[in-house]
């Protein structure tokens, strides 16, 4: 057992045994060495062994049979052929999500699958509960939009259990940084943020405020694109010209901070918004402050939602092929369920963004 001064011995032993189980080195039904044997081979006390095995049993990786010993759980690989696919998104009823789900459904229904639909409200706790519920059901695969994907996943063990049960899963619209080796379908959000910022720069904007979500990978990457466009144009990056918000304060902070900046006389002639929803609220705030879009301030969104075409001003934004994204995720999941290796996959993993130019940006070179 490898030494690691930062972790207790029982935890190290537990991780080592779990790794052997998930990798298939120890197969379903295999008998584990006795406590005495593990104690001797790993050079730890029986108490340490007992604590490690207790955790693995609680998590469902092993089962103890009185008088016979401890065995790798036989549940692994036993959830095949149910015809059920779980789909977990952050939200269900608004914005881009119905079309995303429609794309998933169009592929899975054609293949004879039924969908079990859940949402997390972008809550990490609700995501873990959804995963726990899925693990108790008969499902063949899972498509999941991670909640707050920019934050380290605190329930990685639940994904490890999916691996253990041989339930393939595909991330969509985001992926935890430490799980990028898993299959995913994403937008090139860095390029999207770059395109809208470059568009404003090319129209002669000099003071561009950026508003980005701090707790998901889309926000991080759209910010990277914003920075790249500024630097490419020779503009200095000013952290005071960036507003970061979280899921919990998304309805108040972006507009509140903008209002304060305008009241303080901060020069702003363009705003790059995290998405169309934020852009819509920002345009309302600009109007309440006695200014107008795009005459005084240009605004861009992201996602090309119904809001972009039906808002106060038709919005310049980034196209989000929601149905295509969902269909691609379903196609990739089917490949994984059929054990098709990555090198033989026909599914594109990264979608390129497209700038949609409408009426919310003014040419300031004139």
Q: Give the tokens for residue 266.
A: 């901060």
Rounded Cα distance between 117 and 120, Å, is: 11
For the chain, what are the domain ranges? 9-72, 84-187+323-351, 189-320
pLDDT of residue 304: 94
pLDDT of residue 81: 73
Q: Is the pLDDT of residue 185 over 90?
A: yes
CA 235: distance to chain centroid? Answer: 31
DSSP 88: E
CA 304: distance to chain centroid? Answer: 19
pLDDT band at 80 (very low <50, low <70, confident <90, very high): low
- Domain 84-187+323-351 maps to which CATH number in 3.40.225.10, 3.40.50.1820, 3.40.50.2300, 3.40.50.720? 3.40.50.2300
Q: Is the pLDDT of residue 95 over 80?
A: no
pLDDT of residue 75: 58
- Domain 189-320 maps to which CATH number in 3.30.70.360, 3.30.1490.190, 3.40.50.2300, 3.50.50.60? 3.40.50.2300
pLDDT of residue 40: 92
Rounded Cα distance between 146 and 120, Å, is: 9
Q: Give the tokens for residue 164.
A: 């253990």
- CB under 8 Å to 337, separation ≥6 — which residues? 140, 141, 168
DSSP 153: P
pLDDT band at 4 (very low <50, low <70, confident <90, very high): low
In 3-state terms the chain splits into helix, strand, coil percentages (rounded to 5) of 45, 15, 40
Average pLDDT over residues 2-17: 80
Q: Is the pLDDT of residue 336 over 90?
A: yes
Per CATH, 84-187+323-351 and 189-320 having the same topology is answered yes
How far is residue 8 from each of residues 14, 18, 50, 124, measured CA to CA in Å? 10, 15, 13, 26
Residues of the chain with pLDDT > 70, as a percent, come to 96
pLDDT of residue 76: 46
Higher pLDDT, 20 or 205: 205
**Mean pLDDT value across the chain:** 92
In the chain, the N- to C-terminal Cα span, in Å, equals 70
- CB under 8 Å to 221, separation ≥6 — which residues? 188, 189, 190, 192, 193
The CATH number of 9-72 is 1.10.10.10
Q: Is the pLDDT of residue 215 over 90?
A: yes
Question: Is this prediction's pTM over 0.85?
Answer: no
Q: What is the pLDDT of residues 124-175, one digit of tens each?
A: 999 999 998 988 888 999 999 999 999 988 888 899 889 888 899 999 999 9
Q: What is the pLDDT of residues 10-62, one digit of tens each?
A: 999 998 998 888 777 888 889 999 999 999 999 999 999 999 999 998 888 89
């Amino acid at each position: 057992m490898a030494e690691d001064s930062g972790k207790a011995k029982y935890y190290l032993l537990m991780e080592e045994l779990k790794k052997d189980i998930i990798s298939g080195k120890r197969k379903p039904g295999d008998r584990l060495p006795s406590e005495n044997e593990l104690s001797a081979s790993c050079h730890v006390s029986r108490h340490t062994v007992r604590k490690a095995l207790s955790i693995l049993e609680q998590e469902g990786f092993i089962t103890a049979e009185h008088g016979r010993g401890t065995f790798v759980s036989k549940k692994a690989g036993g959830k095949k052929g149910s015809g059920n696919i779980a789909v977990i998104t952050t939200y269900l009823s608004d914005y881009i999500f119905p079309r995303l789900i429609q794309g998933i459904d169009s592929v899975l229904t054609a293949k004879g699958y039924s969908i079990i639909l859940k949402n997390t409200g972008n809550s990490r706790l609700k995501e873990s509960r959804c995963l726990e519920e899925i693990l108790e059901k008969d499902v063949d695969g899972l498509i999941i939009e991670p909640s707050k994907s920019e934050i380290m996943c605190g329930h990685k063990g639940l994904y490890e259990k999916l691996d253990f049960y041989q339930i393939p899963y595909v991330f969509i619209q985001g992926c935890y940084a430490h799980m990028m080796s898993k299959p995913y379908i994403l937008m090139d959000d860095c390029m999207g943020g770059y395109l809208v910022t470059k568009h404003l720069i090319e129209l002669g904007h000099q003071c561009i405020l950026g508003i980005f979500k701090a707790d998901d990978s889309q926000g991080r990457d759209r910010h990277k694109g914003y920075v790249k466009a500024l630097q490419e144009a020779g503009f200095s990056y000013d952290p005071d010209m960036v507003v970061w918000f979280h899921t919990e304060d998304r309805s108040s902070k972006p507009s509140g901070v903008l209002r304060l900046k305008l009241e303080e006389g901060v020069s702003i002639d363009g705003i790059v918004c995290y998405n169309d929803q934020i852009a819509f609220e920002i345009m309302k705030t600009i109007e309440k402050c006695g200014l107008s879009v795009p005459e005084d301030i240009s605004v861009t969104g992201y996602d090309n939602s119904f809001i972009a075409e039906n808002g106060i001003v038709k919005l310049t934004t980034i196209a989000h092929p929601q149905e295509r994204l969902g269909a691609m995720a379903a196609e990739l999941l089917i490949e994984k369920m059929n054990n098709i290796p990555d090198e033989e996959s026909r599914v594109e993993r990264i979608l390129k963004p497209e700038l949609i130019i409408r009426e919310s940006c003014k040419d300031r070179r004139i």
